[in-house]
Amino acid sequence: MNAGFLEWLQGTPLAVAISEDWFPYVESFHVITMAIVAGTIFIVDTRLIGLTSRRLPFSYLSERLLPWTWGAFGCSAVTGTLLFSANATGYYGNTPFRVKMVLLVLAGLNMLYFQKVTFRGVSAWDLSRPPPAARLAGAISIALWCGVIGFGRWIGFTQTG
C-alpha cells in the first residue's frame, strides 16, 4: 500500500481526533462488537461441531444469531478502520496486525465455503450430528477467531509508533 496514502490517512482531521482524544472510546466499541461477533460465532460453531444445543435445528440457531454476527462485524470493520487510521503507517507495518488481517480473510473464506457448499445439504443433518465437513468448518472457525482475537490483543503489546 502506498506510504503516501497511509500518511495522508493518519493526517486527516478525523484520524488525528481519534489518535489524540477518541481512541479509547472507539477501541471500547470495537471490543464490544468483537465480543458479539466472536461470541455468536462460538455459539453457532459449538452447535455445528455437535457439542451444544443439540435439540435445536442448526439452521434455526444460525438464522437467528448470524444477523447479529454480521451486524456486529460491520461495526467492528468500521471501528477497526477508524482505529487503523489513527496510526496507519504504524499498524500497516505491524506484524500481529497483518496476521490478524490474514486470519480474518481466512475466517471469511471458511464461512463462505460453508454457506455456499456444506450448508446446502443442511436439511439432511439439521437435527442430527452434522457431517464431517460441517464439524471441520466449525472447528476451523473457532480456531481462526481465537487467532484473530489473540493477534488483535498482541497488536497492543507491539505497537509503539
User: Is residue 42 close enough to count as binding another protein by CB under 8 A?
Assistant: yes
**Whose Cβ is closer to another protein: residue 157's or residue 160's?**
157
User: Is residue 153 close enough to count as binding another protein by CB under 8 A?
Assistant: yes
Q: Decide: 53 and 61 in contact? Cβ < 8 Å.
A: yes
Q: Select from 113, 122, 153, 118 the least CA-distant residue to 134.
A: 118
Give me the helices (H) in 50-161, please.
58-85, 88-92, 95-116, 132-158
User: Is residue 150 close enough to count as binding another protein by CB under 8 A?
Assistant: yes
Burial class of residue 129, CB neighbours in 10 A (0-12, 13-18, 19+) = exposed
Q: Decide: 156 and 97 in contact? Cβ < 8 Å.
A: no
User: Is residue 28 close enough to count as binding another protein by CB under 8 A?
Assistant: yes
Site string for another protein, 47-86 (x = CB under 8 A): -----xx--x---xx--xx--x------------------
CB of 29 to another protein, least distance (A): 8
Question: Of the listed pieces 14-22, 109-117, 122-130, 144-152, which binds another protein according to CB under 8 A?
Answer: 144-152
The span from the CA of 159 to the CA of 74, in Å, is 24
The binding site for another protein (CB under 8 A) comprises 24, 27-28, 31-32, 34-40, 42-43, 52-53, 56, 60-61, 64-65, 68, 146, 149-150, 153-154, 156-157
